[in-house]
Amino acid sequence: MQAASTILPLPSFSTQMRPPRASACSVRCSNFEIFMNRVPEKSQSEAGLTPRAGSRAARAGSRPVERPGKKGASLSAAALFSEYRHQRSIWREALSVVADVAAGQSWRRAGLFLLFALCLVPHMAMAQAALVQDDPEAGMIGWPQAEMRHALDYFIERRMRELDIPGVALAVIADGRIVYEKGYGYADADGDQDVTPHTLFEAGGLGLPLEAYAAMLLVRERKMSLDTPLSDYLEMPWLPDERASATVTLRHVLNHRSGLSDRVRLGSRGLSFEPGTEFGYSGMGYVYLAHVMSEIEGVPFDRLMRQRLFQPLGMSSSGYVIPEGLVGEVARGHHALWMPISAFAGPMAAIFAVFAIVTVLVVRLGFHRLKLEPFDLVPAAVIAPVGASAILYYLQGGWALLFCLGYFIVWLAAIALIVAAVQYLRFIFDRGWSDGVLSRGMRRSSFSPVLFGAVLLMSLLFMTWQVPLPARDGDDFNAALSLRSSAHDLALFVAGFVDGALVGTPLRAAMVESRMMVAERKGDRFGWGLGFGTREHEGGLTLWQTSTNIGLRGIMVIDPSRRAGVVILTNADQGKILMQEVAGHVLGPEDPWRLP
């Protein structure tokens, strides 16, 4: 154990992070953390700082390690780990020789080993260089599972602290089965409910590929056709435009060429362009499709999905509508404090500014007064919050209005209390003391706009605090937004998809092959198939979909050729960073899965 713990004798290694009888795997991964410059937090006694501050100091003092390969080219996590294991094996044998020599043991054995090593090192170096440069996008999916688990645990927990993310759920699929799943943190930052792989999240956009897969099941049963107008399956038209209604097909909806908008909360049914002529991400297209599928099967869409997709695949926890008793079990979304405050204060300030300008014009041109009285601004002060409330209610609904208005009122009340307390202290001390008797007759301090502005600016320092968002009602149905699912259930879908479960391999392949190119970034070609985003890169083709509900971010990435995938669900807006990083480490490509 003594020799193993000094494989890479760097000064930043902290034995406090590992138990005395750590396994060989834990020691190997501990040194991997050092090799990757992901230095664990030093102990408080060693660094003289708090754990978080110590971590920052360690990161600030760390220097990048030179990697083999082309200059300026970034290496994948798998390539770096392969390089680490290669160097580790050389260190282990070298240290073994040194230990033998120091103990006065066989000099002959040491000499033979060194001679043998000198002969092999050039070949090992060339093989290693080939591994690092020729397989840069393998990802963690090819690692031994124990090593992948340890590295993922370390990375996710560290990034959760740095990004202030309360909870994360992860599932990794390899060879068509779930090989690792785990929950990290809490479902609510203010609660004690642990996140597990079975914790429900508002998956939002991740439900679109599931809906597309169910639609392909109806195609297999010849109940739908990819190129038949969806209006042919309805008795009453759903789209107000008759010409558009006779044009939009299932294929248009699945690859986002329907022309319908993404303004799902507004329920907009108008078309932005001629169906089939261009790409435009559309949640409303899937709302339209859900209505059509429900009419074809004669059951509500949520029941249809449970009967035809969720139950056959074993996704027992998923649903677009859930009992109210389960709403409290769903992970709460979190966002920085500035979001609810600015969502209300922004429109209010804009409306107030417009009406204030109108008031000035009316006073000067209508009443011929140059001086504006405070009373003149009362109408603007009343209309501004009312107008902001109406806009927020129209765009986001009643719960979002109460949420944003509540935090805005608390914020203003806190500022007012601080200003009042400071003003009171000024009033007390400005009156002065004379021979131990409080002087009388001093003028009271007037309100200071400078003080109010200073307190307002100081409050901005707290705007990054994570606050919980209101939970969606259990019966609040929306085919593009309201899916509640878990990492485990979504991983079961990925496993079923790579095997072509329910729909068969030909239709599953058609979902990938029937794609249109959308954009290109750094040599990667991004497109959209029948239900999934597609990304073609050096390592092959991957399918992806993200969830962008406010305060709840998630991603699903599938590699059909390797029958692999990853699902990450988070309950904070900053999860959009973590989910891309984890997906990249697991499957290889480092650039994010999102349209340029």
Give pLDDT tens digits for 332-349: 999 889 989 999 999 999
> Distance between the two ends of the chain, CA-based, in angstroms?
49
Question: E-assigned strands of 146-196?
Answer: 167-174, 177-185
Find the CATH number of the domain harbouring 232: 3.40.710.10
Same structural domain for residues 75 and 57? yes
pLDDT profile of the chain (596 residues), mean per 10: 37 32 39 43 38 34 36 44 52 55 54 56 46 55 92 96 96 96 94 94 96 97 96 93 90 96 86 93 96 97 97 96 91 91 93 92 84 86 93 81 90 90 80 50 60 86 87 89 97 97 94 93 92 90 94 96 96 95 90 86
Same structural domain for residues 44 and 139? yes
Going 56 to 61 to 65 to 71, the CA torsion angle's sign is: positive
Same structural domain for residues 279 and 391? no
Note the Cα 98 to chain centre separation in Å.
48
DSSP summary character for residue 141: G
Same structural domain for residues 148 and 267? no
- Of 126, 153, 180, the residue at which a domain comes to its end is 153
- Of 137, 153, 169, the residue at which a domain comes to its end is 153
Q: Cβ distance 536 to 552 under 8 Å? A: no
Same structural domain for residues 431 and 507? no
Same structural domain for residues 167 and 304? yes
Q: Helices (DSSP H) in 432-479: which residue ranges?
A: 449-459
Return the H-helix or E-strand segment holding 210.
helix 207-220
555 phi/psi in degrees, rounded to 5: -150, 145
Total number of domains in the chain: 3
| Residue 577 maps to a domain | yes
pLDDT score for 29: 44
How far apart (Å, rounded) are the C-alpha atoms in residues 181 and 73?
31
Q: How far is CA 210 from CA 7, 202, 286, 322, 552, in A?
A: 48, 14, 11, 17, 18
Same structural domain for residues 29 and 98? yes
pLDDT score for 196: 97
| Residue 165 maps to a domain | yes
Q: Between the CA atoms of 55, 147, 139 and 552, what dihedral angle is there, to the nearest 10 degrees?
A: -60
Same structural domain for residues 302 and 414? no
Same structural domain for residues 178 and 299? yes
| Residue 596 maps to a domain | no
| Residue 349 maps to a domain | yes
- Of 153, 169, 196, the residue at which a domain comes to its end is 153
Same structural domain for residues 394 and 409? yes
Same structural domain for residues 192 and 250? yes
Same structural domain for residues 354 and 453? yes
pLDDT score for 425: 83
pLDDT score for 93: 58
pLDDT score for 435: 47
pLDDT score for 64: 36
DSSP summary character for residue 189: T
Strand 540-547 and strand 524-528: the pairing is unpaired
- What share of residues in the chain are helix, strand, coil (percent, to 5)? 50, 15, 35
| Residue 595 maps to a domain | no
| Residue 469 maps to a domain | no
Q: Which domain holds residue 122?
A: 4-153
| Residue 409 maps to a domain | yes
Return the H-helix or E-strand segment holding 518.
strand 516-521
| Residue 28 maps to a domain | yes
Q: Which of 81, 171, 183, 179 is nearest to 135 (CA)?
A: 81
Q: Cβ distance 201 to 543 under 8 Å? A: no
